């Protein structure tokens, strides 16, 4: 398919391949699980059902991704180690951790009812993830020792806190009481004061859970005589071990040694420099727009299995939109989102300190939250369809240094939407008319937009532009109004301050931008006093561009905005310079007022 002139924005994507011979570990952790566990009344200090749910999700991850050969987890975290020779997604860090966290989240939400049949999921959980690259098997060994030590320390500490609180101390007093105590003292405290023999607590809470794959014989089918046909299959199983970083545990598992390497030495403590490297996370450039783009994993298959309408399934797209709306509501620093097909781009404001701009946290938490909502909302959009398998998304973050390039990014995605939709509409019409898929493909090879429009006319689609906007131009999500919260919407721009409301528009983008020496948007709009419906989209705009910009819905031409709005503004303000930029679907008018006449 044709490339658009905006393709250059792809060059801003950075390489994040984890090079050989580093071993790849992806660690996920619950986002604000303290609150999640309180709201869902998890048993304190350890809810074994919640731990079993985590384990079950981790088993699903190992079964889904053959390259993951080992996992270790406790509390709300899990680490997944990929085999040393993996080429999974070209070893790209953002792909790997976003997919794993997305799949894990999908599993968590889906399995919730199985583990907590009497508890509603009050709000959708989400997880963060990061990649830890281990330069050698020895470093992986240190990593596992670090995590299992942490499991032990945390569990002993929370057990003590829980007992102290149960016996009358406040949480704060309990924390004070334990300050500076060592493992031995906590052990004695539990035993002497509360009659708890720590060693007798369930292994799952003391040691965490390890998962590895073993070969098992499985019946795959029955032959004509009814005899079972068996095959060796690798199955993920949970085990508990006191020392997963020990030579004894590790080296006795042939598959682990083969896929990751053997442990050569026994280690007692972890080098502080190693811990620093395990904790390191790269930050995205300051003062740049961050776009987090997520994309459905293998949605070609997902849409087939779930019988999405071709080429566009309105319900599926609306489900995507509802997830994007939830993302904007959840993360205030995301100011705009644009979605098409199985992808969504989220724009994080330039000065955002969201997760201190740590790329992996930002991407994975958005992907995970989106996935969570997708699973939770599925029934609302497809009441008659079961989710046949777990959906997942991958994600990446890209920095754009200027609003011009950011707009080109959006234009790139929207042009792509247009090109794909026109192609797909033709393709499925050809298939409907009796051509095979490969015949339809060959037929369309090298055709231009005009030829495709002609072709559509033959199928009765006389006006391509009459197809729903959402199909042709994608969807945008943004805060409709910004200011003080108020319940009611208002009919005039003075009421612009009135409320925050989120809405989806399927509008074409054109950005109309003026530069002023200085001005305040709210006071400016207050003076104009144009009825709100006349300008249906005064949104995030100036935030995005720094200057005063308006995102116009389709049908609202830049020329119209110019005439009605600008003439009023002109009277009220001293305008140094005006630059008008219109970003349309495929017609770009770079700058200058004269070009407005073309609109």
Residues forming the site for Mg ion (CB under 5 A): 295-296, 299, 342
> Angle at the Cα of 311 (from 307 to 317), degrees rounded to 5?
75
Give the nearest distance from C-beta 370 to Mg ion in angstroms: 13
506 and 469 Cβ atoms separated by less than 8 Å: yes
Give the nearest distance from C-beta 303 to ligand GTP in angstroms: 3
- Selection from Mg ion, ligand GTP, none that 303 binds (CB < 5 to 8 A by kind) is ligand GTP
Specify the residue, 74 or 344, whose C-beta has the smaller distance to Mg ion: 344
- Selection from ligand GTP, Mg ion, none that 308 binds (CB < 5 to 8 A by kind) is ligand GTP
Give the nearest distance from C-beta 331 to ligand GTP in angstroms: 23
In angstroms, rounded to a whole number, what is the distance separating the alpha carbons of residues 445 and 422? Answer: 13
SS (HEC) of 494-546: HHHHCCCCEEEECCCCEEEEECCCCCCHHHHHHHHCCEHHHCCCCCCHHHHHC
Other Cβ atoms closer than 10 A to 227: 9
Tokens coding 318? 């609306």
CA-nearest of 253, 238, 246, 250 to 203 is 238
In angstroms, rounded to a whole number, what is the distance separating the alpha carbons of residues 338 and 410? Answer: 8
Give the nearest distance from C-beta 340 to ligand GTP in angstroms: 8
- Selection from ligand GTP, Mg ion, none that 369 binds (CB < 5 to 8 A by kind) is none
Tokens coding 292? 């987090």
234 and 256 Cβ atoms separated by less than 8 Å: no
Specify the residue, 471 or 496, whose C-beta has the smaller distance to Mg ion: 471
Torsion of CA 549, 6, 504, 289, to 10 degrees: -60
In angstroms, rounded to a whole number, what is the distance separating the alpha carbons of residues 442 and 1? Answer: 12
Q: How far is CA 470 from the centre of its chain?
A: 22
Specify the residue, 67 or 281, whose C-beta has the smaller distance to ligand GTP: 67
Give the nearest distance from C-beta 375 to ligand GTP in angstroms: 17
Give the nearest distance from C-beta 310 to ligand GTP in angstroms: 4
- Selection from ligand GTP, Mg ion, none that 300 binds (CB < 5 to 8 A by kind) is ligand GTP
Specify the residue, 27 or 95, whose C-beta has the smaller distance to ligand GTP: 95
- Selection from ligand GTP, Mg ion, none that 310 binds (CB < 5 to 8 A by kind) is ligand GTP
Torsion of CA 449, 450, 456, 460, to 10 degrees: 150
What DSSP element (H or E) covers 162?
A: helix 137-166
Specify the residue, 313 or 342, whose C-beta has the smaller distance to Mg ion: 342
What DSSP element (H or E) covers 567?
A: helix 567-572
Specify the residue, 261 or 339, whose C-beta has the smaller distance to Mg ion: 339
Specify the residue, 65 or 289, whose C-beta has the smaller distance to ligand GTP: 65
CA-nearest of 556, 562, 554, 560 to 585 is 554
Give the nearest distance from C-beta 295 to ligand GTP in angstroms: 5
334 and 136 Cβ atoms separated by less than 8 Å: no
Give the nearest distance from C-beta 259 to ligand GTP in angstroms: 25
Specify the residue, 160 or 316, whose C-beta has the smaller distance to ligand GTP: 316
Binding site for ligand GTP (CB under 6 A): 295-300, 303, 308-310, 312-313, 316-317, 341-342
- Selection from ligand GTP, Mg ion, none that 250 binds (CB < 5 to 8 A by kind) is none
User: At 323, is the secondary structure helix, strand, or coil?
Assistant: helix
- Selection from ligand GTP, Mg ion, none that 316 binds (CB < 5 to 8 A by kind) is ligand GTP
Alpha helices in 12-133 (DSSP H): 33-39, 48-64, 93-115
Give the nearest distance from C-beta 311 to ligand GTP in angstroms: 6
Give the nearest distance from C-beta 26 to ligand GTP in angstroms: 18
Specify the residue, 299 or 346, whose C-beta has the smaller distance to Mg ion: 299
Nearest residue (beta carbon) to Mg ion = 296
The β-bridge relationship of strands 68-74 and 209-222 is antiparallel
What DSSP element (H or E) covers 346?
A: strand 343-348
- Selection from Mg ion, ligand GTP, none that 333 binds (CB < 5 to 8 A by kind) is none
Q: How far is CA 123 from the centre of its chain?
A: 17
Torsion of CA 239, 241, 244, 249, to 10 degrees: -90
In angstroms, rounded to a whole number, what is the distance separating the alpha carbons of residues 421 and 413? Answer: 12
Torsion of CA 27, 32, 34, 37, to 10 degrees: -90
Specify the residue, 25 or 320, whose C-beta has the smaller distance to Mg ion: 320
Identify the DSSP state of 547.
S
Give the nearest distance from C-beta 393 to ligand GTP in angstroms: 9
56 and 236 Cβ atoms separated by less than 8 Å: no
- Selection from Mg ion, ligand GTP, none that 317 binds (CB < 5 to 8 A by kind) is ligand GTP
Give the nearest distance from C-beta 295 to Mg ion in angstroms: 4
Specify the residue, 10 or 570, whose C-beta has the smaller distance to ligand GTP: 10
Specify the residue, 70 or 308, whose C-beta has the smaller distance to ligand GTP: 308
Specify the residue, 316 or 324, whose C-beta has the smaller distance to ligand GTP: 316
100 and 392 Cβ atoms separated by less than 8 Å: no
Look at the block and give the residue holding tokens 């008008």.
580
Give the nearest distance from C-beta 320 to Mg ion in angstroms: 11
Bond before 21 cis per omega within 30 degrees: yes
Specify the residue, 74 or 299, whose C-beta has the smaller distance to ligand GTP: 299
Give the nearest distance from C-beta 298 to ligand GTP in angstroms: 4
- Selection from Mg ion, ligand GTP, none that 313 binds (CB < 5 to 8 A by kind) is ligand GTP
């Amino acid at each position: 398919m044709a490339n658009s002139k905006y393709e250059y924005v792809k060059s801003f994507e950075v390489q994040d391949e984890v090079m050989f011979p580093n071993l790849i570990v992806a660690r996920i952790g619950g986002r604000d699980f303290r609150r999640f566990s309180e709201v869902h009344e998890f048993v304190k200090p350890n809810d074994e059902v919640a731990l079993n749910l985590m384990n079950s999700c981790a088993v699903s991850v190992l079964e889904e991704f053959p390259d993951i050969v080992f996992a270790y987890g406790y509390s709300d975290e899990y680490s997944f180690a990929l085999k040393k020779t993996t080429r999974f997604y070209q070893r790209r860090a953002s792909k790997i951790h976003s997919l794993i966290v997305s799949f894990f989240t999908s599993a968590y939400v889906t399995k919730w009812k199985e583990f907590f049949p009497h508890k509603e999921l009050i709000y959708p959980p989400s997880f963060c993830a990061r990649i830890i690259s281990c330069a050698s098997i020895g470093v992986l060994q240190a990593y596992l020792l670090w995590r299992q030590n942490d499991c032990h320390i945390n569990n002993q500490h929370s057990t003590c806190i829980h007992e102290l609180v149960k016996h009358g101390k406040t949480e704060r007093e309990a924390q004070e009481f334990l300050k500076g105590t060592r493992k031995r003292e906590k052990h004695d405290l539990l035993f002497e004061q509360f009659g708890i023999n720590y060693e007798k607590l369930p292994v799952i809470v003391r040691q965490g859970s390890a998962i590895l794959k073993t070969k098992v014989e499985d019946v795959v089918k029955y032959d004509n005589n009814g005899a079972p046909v068996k095959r060796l299959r690798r199955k993920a199983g949970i085990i508990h071990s006191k020392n997963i970083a020990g030579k004894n545990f590790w080296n006795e598992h042939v598959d682990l040694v083969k896929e990751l390497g053997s442990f050569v030495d026994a280690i007692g403590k972890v080098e502080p420099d190693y811990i620093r490297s395990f904790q390191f996370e790269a930050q995205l450039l300051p003062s740049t727009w961050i776009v987090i783009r997520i994309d459905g994993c293998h949605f070609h298959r997902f849409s087939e299995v779930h019988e999405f309408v071709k080429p566009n399934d309105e319900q599926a797209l609306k489900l995507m939109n509802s997830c994007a709306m939830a993302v904007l509501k959840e993360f205030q620093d995301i100011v705009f989102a644009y979605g098409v097909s199985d992808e969504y781009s989220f724009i994080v404001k330039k000065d955002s300190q969201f997760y201190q701009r740590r790329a992996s946290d930002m991407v994975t938490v958005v992907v995970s939250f989106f996935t969570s909502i997708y699973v939770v909302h599925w029934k609302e959009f497809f009441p008659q369809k079961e989710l046949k398998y777990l959906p997942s998304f991958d994600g990446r973050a890209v920095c754009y240094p200027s609003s011009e390039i950011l707009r080109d990014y959006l234009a790139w995605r929207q042009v792509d939407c247009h090109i794909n939709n026109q192609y797909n509409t033709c393709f499925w019409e050809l298939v409907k008319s009796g051509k095979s898929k490969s015949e339809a493909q060959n037929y369309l090879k090298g055709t231009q937009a005009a030829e495709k429009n002609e072709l559509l006319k033959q199928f009765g689609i006389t006006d391509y532009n009459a197809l729903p906007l959402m199909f042709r131009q994608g969807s945008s999500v943004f805060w409709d109004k910004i200011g003080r919260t108020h319940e009611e919407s208002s009919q005039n721009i003075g009421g612009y301050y009135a409320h925050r409301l989120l809405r989806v528009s399927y509008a074409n983008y054109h950005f109309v931008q003026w530069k002023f020496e200085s001005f305040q948007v709210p006071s400016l709009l207050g003076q104009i006093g144009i009825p709100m419906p006349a300008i249906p989209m005064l949104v995030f705009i100036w935030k995005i561009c720094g200057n005063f910009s308006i995102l116009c819905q389709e049908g609202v031409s830049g020329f119209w905005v110019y005439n009605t709005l600008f003439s009023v503004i002109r009277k009220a303000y001293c305008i140094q310079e005006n630059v008008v930029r219109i970003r349309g679907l495929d017609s770009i008018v770079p700058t200058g007022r004269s070009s407005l006449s073309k609109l």
